[in-house]
Amino acid sequence: MSFPSIKQVRAFVVHGGGADYHDQGSGHWIDDHIATPMSRYPEYRQSRQSFGINVLGTLVVEIEASDGTVGFAVTTGGEPAAYIVEKHLARFLEGARVTDYEKIWDQMFFSTQFYGRKGLVVNAISGVDLALWDLLGKLRQEPVYHLLGGAVREELQFYATGSRPDLAQKMGFIGGKMPLHHGPAEGEEGLRKNIEELAEMRARVGDDFWLMYDCWMSLDLNYATRLARAAQAHGLKWIEEALNPDDYWGYRDLKKNVPKGMLVTTGEHEATRWGFRMLLEMDCCDIIQPDVGWCGGVTELIRISAMADSRGVMVVPHGSSVYSYHFVITRHNSPFAEFLMMAPKADEVVPMFSPLLLDEPVPVNGRLKLPDTPGFGVRLNPACTLHRPYTH
Ligand SMILES: [Mg+2]
């Protein structure tokens, strides 16, 4: 049987919505005085957009097979990532077999290693890899999770990330993760406010609902330790991404410092098997949170997940909607998933990648049965304008 080969790779950018969920207007909880590494500069403290969190925009990668079937994926990276896909990565795909994703990944990674390894380049590689899996699923008329080994459970179960865990609880989620609002530069008063906010939310949701703090790399070891210890009285389940992602030594110490039973999580801004090997071998955390659109795609996430499994570490991917869901449903060490509340007041469930994607499934009562639609089961919304800045 002759299986279609890859005819063409195309990279597009789109501004507003899509994978760049940080590109929201003012008044959205996601940009309301969230603690970041830039919070040490008062002029960049109120808004993450002020320091450029939304500067790149969304990358859309399309891969067309010789029979005309098109697979696609979205991630962040915008024009610079589009350049890398068109000018560098496309050569390793065009003319290759659609089934050769291992060789293609290897060639994309090692050909870019002299300027890549992490960050933007791996975002671009991830986008290509996800588009390839989407194409493979469409050609085989199977959802991607079938290709990854099949579902190990009936449905996905979600916690919600947003400013209103109390509302998420009413919507059926198993927990709520709030952004931390004050970093070390805001001193003792900021620390007190962080704890008060947690205590207030705990009073609203009762004793059993999970509450977590996402610290978005904003703290130092001492502050994170003090926050974790003070938060124990209010049942904080985990402290997420407290430190600079390069500070493996800090994470190792934080994991020793937090109260027994409280989990340390990180990895949202980590990439590849080599980055996660550091987190795992140095015993930095209890849960790793790779973003499948940033860590190297599904092909790499399979390897990262196997390493974590051998150490008894859970893998709960960061956001990423269907690109995460198709993986999470196939792994016993990924027992639940994240849902990012994209409504400005975090008061209703809306699709994470709206308006760019059509048919994007969302949790109902905090749960979701994945549809059997081929590939990742989503379509590009023709109402969104895609721009192809480079060709090759
Ligand atoms: Mg996070």
Enumerate long-range contacts of 141-144, CB under 8 Å, 24 or more apart.
141/374, 142/374, 143/326, 143/370, 143/371, 143/372, 143/373, 143/374, 143/375, 143/376, 143/377, 144/298, 144/326, 144/375, 144/376
Give 169 Cα–ligand 1 centroid separation in angstroms.
19
Stated pTM of the model: 0.97
Cα dihedral 307→308→309→311 (10° resolution): 100
Best CA proximity match to 62, nearest among 11, 96, 4: 11
* Cα 338 to ligand 1 centroid, rounded to whole Å: 10
Interval between CA 11 and ligand 1 midpoint (Å): 27
233 C-alpha vs ligand 1 centroid, how far in Å?
A: 22
285/349 Cα distance (integer angstroms) = 29
Asked if domains 6-22+57-141+381-387 and 147-373 share a fold, the reply is no
Residue showing tokens 């952004």: 179
pLDDT given for residue 17 in this prediction: 57
Cα separation, 123 vs 20, whole angstroms: 12
DSSP 134-154: HHHHHHHTSBHHHHTT--SSS
Query: In this predicted structure, what is the pLDDT of residue 289?
Result: 98
pLDDT tens track, the chain, 392 positions: 588 999 999 999 997 656 677 777 778 999 999 999 999 999 999 999 999 999 999 999 999 999 999 999 999 999 999 999 999 999 999 999 999 999 999 999 999 999 999 999 999 999 999 999 999 999 999 999 999 999 999 999 999 999 999 999 999 999 999 999 999 999 999 999 999 999 999 999 999 999 999 999 999 999 999 999 999 999 999 999 999 999 999 999 999 999 999 999 999 999 999 999 999 999 999 999 999 999 999 999 999 999 999 999 999 999 999 999 999 999 999 999 999 999 999 999 999 999 999 999 999 999 999 999 999 999 999 999 999 999 99
Residue pair 231/219 in contact by the 8 Å Cβ criterion = no
What is residue 1's predicted lDDT score, i.e. its pLDDT?
Answer: 58
Tell how far the Cα of 217 is from the centroid of ligand 1, in angstroms: 9
Tell me how far apart the alpha carbons of residues 332 and 33 are, in angstroms, rounded to a whole number: 36
| Domain 6-22+57-141+381-387 CATH class label | alpha beta
Q: Which two tokens stand for residue 367?
A: 């749960």
Among 263, 210, 208, 209, which Cα is nearest to 239's?
Answer: 263
Model pLDDT, residue 100 = 97
Kind and range of the H or E element at 53? Answer: none
Q: What is the model's pLDDT at position 18?
A: 65
CATH match of 147-373 with 3.20.20.120: yes
Catalytic residue annotation: 318
Q: What does the pLDDT read at residue 22?
A: 74
Which residues are near ligand 1, the ion (C-beta closer than 5 Å)?
214, 268
Closest CA to 377 of 364, 356, 362, 360: 360
pLDDT at 2: 81
- Strand 70-76 versus strand 156-161 pairing type: unpaired
Domain residue ranges of the chain, discontinuous segments joined by +: 6-22+57-141+381-387, 147-373
Q: What is the total residue count of the chain?
A: 392
Q: Please tell me the distance from the alpha carbon of residue 292 to that of residue 302, in angstroms, as a whole number.
A: 10
Taking the centre of ligand 1 as the mean of its atom positions, its distance from the CA of residue 318, in whole angstroms, is: 7
Query: No. of H helices and E strands in the chain?
Result: 11, 14
Cα 179 to ligand 1 centroid, rounded to whole Å: 8
pLDDT at 24: 78
Cβ neighbours of residue 143 under 8 Å, at least 6 residues apart?
137, 326, 370, 371, 372, 373, 374, 375, 376, 377
Find the 286 Cα to ligand 1 centroid distance in Å. 14
